[in-house]
Amino acid sequence: MTEIVPHAQELLPPAEVPVTGGLKPEYDPRLANEDLAPLEKQTWGSYNIFAFWMSDVHSVGGYITAGSLFMLGLNSWQVLVSLLVGIGIVYFFCNLVAKPSQVTGVPYPVICRSVFGVRGANIPAIIRGLIAVAWYGIQTYLASAALEVALLKLFPGLMPYASVQEYGFLGLPLLGWACYTVLWILQAAVFWTGMESIRKFIDFCGPAVYVVMFLLTGYLLYRAGWGAIDLNLGDVKYTGTAAIPVMLGAIALVVSYFSGPMLNFGDFSRYGRSFAAVKRGNLLGLPVNFLVFSILVVVTASLTVPVFGELIIDPVQTVARIDSTLAIVLGALTFTIATIGINIVANFISPAFDFSNVSPQKISWRAGGMIAAVGSVLITPWNLYNSPDVIHYTLETLGAFIGPLFGVLIADYYLVRRQKVVVDDLFTMSTTGSYWYRKGFNPPAVIATVVGAAIAMVPVLWTTGPGMKGAAPYTWFIGMVLGFAVHAVLSRRR
């Protein structure tokens, strides 16, 4: 059971200690603002959490990821087993990371103060924030690509402006810049309206994609017939024990895909009415939803072969091949909206809290989000996404850094502190505060993060080393286990 402790002297059972939300006068302004303070009301139910995960899964990136699992050379039942194991791991870890923030009502960077110290919490905040900025840019580019498809279908005369050779700047054509700018402004506008509007937006996004997906599947079934469905998108190359390493790689891929939003899930679980409601939402949104969506993806992708003569695993390209302008426009716009949904929940809200945590007096939640939005343009994400090598290293590096942060947080909350949190001490710079540690930093947490990330990065950087290529997909697991173990051992010795 978790004990929420408003003051260090009041060690009451959790049932007797509600979250005492709001910005209190005694909170140090260097650590608190209205966005970072404990919530006064927690209003999200199971459906809102379910919709959050639908928005995270139902995107162009989620579609392609699910489809790629069925192209690994495994047969369909092996892929489904890998998928269920991988998403089961994500579900288990999401419940673990959700609880600290749900019971205290504070976002991820604030709960990290209990682990890393009131100053040291900026380490995980900045790491997670910078990662989110990169992916925010990439997802905005993917959404703009879907919008571009719709515009070219409606206005074929724009085709020359879609050529980077004729009207290109920094690797993106003029039409691409226009679409990217529109999506950039639209996302910023949705974000600026606040969390309640974002909640309503993501409540719509996930179901909207399901409607389009079922319509798309129905259209392809009408064209090809039920007999054309094949759950193996590629040739089956691995059987027996030879399939085990490939299945493990598929499991790692699923976990890596969700590693970002999983780490800062506390930014959303803090809004949950209860931990039970959060767990129900996670169950519906992860194992149940991801399995149904994945099967729908592979059925749709398999039907593109008899209908269009080739395998297409990009839903935007599938929609673009339909002989109907209305269908193309509706489909492209739906996937655009869906990608906006995942971008806001996974890559906008996280850096907003993270950057605000660095300097609450000067950086509000909205200002933190706009810093992330501007940074996402400066990195020219279309150039990142168009390079397979860059994507490869980005995913593995992301896992190497996120894994230790996750492991340290879980070890500290469940093993070291036994689920006790002194809420008010999260907002004090007093040297007698519970989370002052050593000048505001907790050495075991910092050391564990550095050790975990450094070792996990070895297979990423030393690609020619013995066994390194095989270990690279497991950087999240390597970093997480090392971060967990090192922090637990060092903390107990102290």
64 vs 55: CA distance, rounded Å: 15
What confidence tens digit (pLDDT) does each residue in 412-461 have? 999 999 999 999 999 999 999 999 999 999 999 999 999 999 999 998 88
| pLDDT beyond 80 at 479 | yes
Query: In 171-250, where do the E strands start and end?
Result: 172-173
pLDDT grade for 175, boundaries at 50, 70 and 90: very high
- Residue that wins the pLDDT comparison between 22 and 124: 124
What number of other Cβ atoms are within 10 A of residue 465's Cβ? 11
> According to the model, what pLDDT value does residue 309 have?
85
Query: What is the rounded distance in angstroms from the CA atom of residue 181 to the CA atom of residue 163?
Result: 17
Measure CA of the first residue to CA of the last residue in the chain; give whole Å. 24
Q: What's this model's pTM, rounded to 2 decimal places? A: 0.84
Under CATH, domain 10-493 is a member of which superfamily?
Hydantoin permease (1.10.4160.10)
Task: Return the beta strands (E) in 332-474 as ranges.
Answer: 420-422
Residue 7 has pLDDT above 60, yes or no: no
Residues 6+ apart with CB under 8 A from 470: 245
Q: What is the pLDDT of residues 30-68, one digit of tens each?
A: 999 888 999 988 999 999 999 889 888 877 777 777 777
Question: Which one-letter DSSP state was computed for residue 4?
Answer: E
Unique residue bearing structure tokens 């399901």? 210
Average pLDDT score over the chain: 85
In this predicted structure, the answer to whether residue 79 has a pLDDT above a threshold of 80 is yes
| CA 165 from centre of chain | 34
- Nearest Cα to 21, choosing from 494, 489, 426? 426
Residue 393 has phi, psi (to 5 degrees) of: -70, -35
- Express each pLDDT in 87-136 by its tens digit: 999 999 999 999 999 999 999 999 999 999 999 999 999 888 888 888 78
342-358 pLDDT, tens digit each: 788 777 788 888 888 88
Both tokens of 33, joined, read 């603002």
